[in-house]
Amino acid sequence: MAPVRSTGAIVAAVSLSMALLSLFLYKSKISSKKTKLTLPSKKNHTTGLVGAIGNTPLIRINSLSDATGCEILGKCEFLNPGGSVKDRVAVKIIEEALESGDLAPGGVVTEGSAGSTAISLATVAPAYGCKCHVVIPDDAAIEKSQILEALGATVERVRPVSITHRDHFVNIARRRATEANELAMKHRKDEQMNGQALEQTNGFQCDGEKQSVVTSYTGGYFADQFENMANFRAHYEGTGPEIWEQTGGNVDAFVAAAGTGGTVAGVSRFLQEKKFNVKCFLIDPPGSGLYNKVTRGVMYTREEAEGRRLKNPFDTITEGIGINRITKNFMMAKLDGAFRGTDKEAVEMSRYLMKNDGLFLGSSSAMNCVGAVRAAQALGPGHTIVIILCDSGMRHLSKFFSAEYLSQYGLTPSASGLEFLGVG
C-alpha cells in the first residue's frame, strides 16, 4: 500500500505544482498584457516643445572620471530642443514677462545676441504665440542669421561697436522693444479714435533711424539675458534642483564658465543652500576679467574695462563665455575659487572627448571639462564633480572644429591623452 500512497502523493504534488505554474503563467500573461496595454500616462509624455526642455540626462564622463579618480558628471544640455542650455533661459524669460504683463501674447521679444540665447528665444517664442527679433553684429557668422531667420525670427545685422555706444547691438535690441511698445500704444490710441482696426504687420524692414524695424502692434519686450534675473531663476529653480536630484545629493563640486553668469550663479547658489560644503568654481577663458574678480576682487585695469575698447579684441576662440563686466546674474554666484583655461586646452579637450567618449561638444562645454579636471586635481580623487555640457560641436564647425581656422592661431590639437593638463 505504501507505494500506492506515495504514487498518489506524487500525483497530487505534481498536479498542485502544475496548477501553481499555470496560475503563475496566467498571472504573468495578464501582467505582461497589462504592461503592453497600459496607455501612456501623463508622466510619460510632456506638453509641446516647452515640455521637452530641461530634465536633461546627467552622464558620467568615463574617460575623465577614470583618469582623475573622481566621478565627473556632465549635464547634457545640448539635448534640449533648441540645442543648448539657453532653452531654459528663453522659456523663463518669456514666461515671467507674460506673467507680469510686460510682454503681451503675440508681442515681440527682442534680444541682442549672436549666440545660443537668440536661437533659443527664436525656437521657443512661437510656442507662446510670440515673435522674436534679434540684433547681431554683422561680423557674426552668416549661418547664425540664416538659422535665426529659418526659425522665423527677424534679424538685424549691425556694425560692431562698444557696449557704451548707443548703437551696440544690445542697445539697439533694447530700443526696438521700446519702439514696439510705443507703436502698440499709438495703435491703441488710433483705434480708439477711429474705431477701426488697423491691419497688423509684424516683420523686418530696412533699418532707418526714424522708422522702427519692429512693427508689432502688440508691443515688445527686451529679453536682456545679462541683467534679467529670470536667467538666474531658470538655473536656480531648474538646473540646480535637477543636479541635486540626479546625484541624490552626492555632489562635492560644480564648475562652470560664465557668459551672462546665469548658470554658474543659479546652480552654485542652489547647491550651496542644499549642502554648505559643495565647492563651486569658475573656469575662465582668456580675455575675461572674472578670474581676477573671483581670486583677487579686482576685475581689470582701467584700460581693460569693457566700454573703453572700440571693439572687443580677439581674446578667445571659445564662444558664449568670458566677460569684462559684472552682470546682475553673475553677482548671485557663490564661488569658492576660479581656474584659468586656455584655448589650446579647450581644443585638446574637445578632441580627447571625441576620441575617448564619442562626445562631440562645443567650446564652452570643452572649457567646462577642463575646469572639471582642474577641480579634480585641486580636490583629489574620490569626489563627485558636476559640469554643464552647454551645446554640441555642430554649432562650432566653422571655427572650433575647423582645422584651417585653428592652424591660423597655432591651436592645432596634438595631444594623445590628457598630458596638456598634467594628467597621465
Ligand X SMILES: Cc1ncc(COP(=O)(O)O)c(C=O)c1O
> Which positions touch ligand X (CB under 6 A)?
84, 86, 115-117, 258-264, 320-321, 362, 364, 390-391
Smallest gap from Cβ 130 to ligand X, in A, equals 21
User: Quick one: cell of 322?
Assistant: 568670458
Distance CA(214)–CA(207), nearest Å, equals 10
Nearest Cα to 261, choosing from 38, 397, 44, 89? 89
Residue nearest to ligand X (CB): 320
Closer by beta carbon to ligand X, 171 or else 263: 263
Q: Which is nearer to ligand X, 89 or 411 (CB)?
A: 89
Cβ-in-10-Å burial (0-12, 13-18, 19+) of 303 comes to exposed
CB-based contact 351:251 (threshold 8 Å): no
Give the closest residue to 178 by CA, choosing from 138, 133, 148.
133
Task: Compute the least distance from the CB of residue 122 to ligand X, in Å.
Answer: 14
- Which CB sits closer to ligand X, 240 or 259? 259
Separation CA 188–CA 220 (nearest Å): 14
Rounded to the nearest whole angstrom, what is the least distance from the CB of residue 346 to ligand X in the complex?
12
Amino acid at 60: R
In this structure, the chain runs to a length of: 424
Task: Give residues with Cβ within 8 angstroms of 376, minimum separation 6.
Answer: 64, 68, 69, 70, 72, 383, 385
What CA–CA distances, in Å, run from 399 to 83, 111, 324, 392? Answer: 18, 24, 23, 13
> What are the grid coordinates assigned to 39, written together?
496607455
Taking the least distance from each CB to ligand X, the nearer of 268 and 364 is: 364
Strand partners, 58: 75
- What distance in Å separates the CA atoms of residue 59 and residue 78, rounded to the nearest whole number? 12
CA distance 377 to 64: 12
Min dist CB 59 to ligand X, Å, is 17
Shortest Å, Cβ 231 to ligand X: 7
Closest distance between ligand X and the C-beta of residue 285, in Å?
A: 10
Taking a C-beta distance cutoff of 8 angstroms, is the pair 61, 369 a contact? yes
Nearer Cβ to ligand X (113/218)? 113
Grid cell of 348 as nine digits = 585638446
CB of 345 to ligand X, least distance (A): 16
User: Nearer to ligand X by C-beta: 179 or 224?
Assistant: 224
Q: Minimum distance from CB of 166 to ligand X (Å)?
A: 23
- 83 or 220: CB nearest ligand X: 83
Is the Cβ of residue 364 or residue 384 nearer to ligand X in the bound state? Answer: 364
Cell of 383: 569626489
61 vs 264, beta carbon nearer ligand X = 264
CB of 370 to ligand X, least distance (A): 13
